[in-house]
Amino acid sequence: MAERLHRTQILLDPKQHQALATLARNEGRSISELVREMVQQALAQREQGAQATLRRQLAALQRIRAHRDAIVARRGGRPLELDAASLIHHVREEQDERNLADLRDHRR
């Protein structure tokens, strides 16, 4: 049984329509058939791009994990005991102190 098609209206500029009409006439096909094929190709291309991006991201995550494992191994199996929020707070306080000192020096 054939799959049901959905009617969709699109607006093309005159050059696009003329190019599609010429292709369709030269290939003995309908404009609709050409457009469906082109849409399918574009969708497949986007899916391939999304899959490639996902593979790159997963590879990067794997490299990060390997790096973390190497650090833990160098530390004799002891993970870093780090409170990131406290460290960020401390760094911000130090930067605030430097900024205030620069401001005071500038006003003199």
Pair 30, 20: CB distance under 8 Å: no
Please say whether the dihedral angle defined by the alpha carbons of residues 43, 47, 26 and 4, taken in this order, is positive or negative: negative
108: pLDDT confidence band, cut at 50, 70 and 90? confident
What is the rounded CA–CA span in Å between residue 62 and residue 60?
5
Average pLDDT, integer, range 82-87: 89
> Is 0.85 surpassed by the pTM of this model?
no
- The pLDDT of residue 3 is 86
**Tokens matching residue 64:** 């990060």
For residue 12, what are the CA distances in angstroms to 18, 31, 32, 77, 98?
Answer: 9, 12, 13, 63, 60
Average pLDDT, integer, range 13-18: 98
Average pLDDT, integer, range 39-63: 98
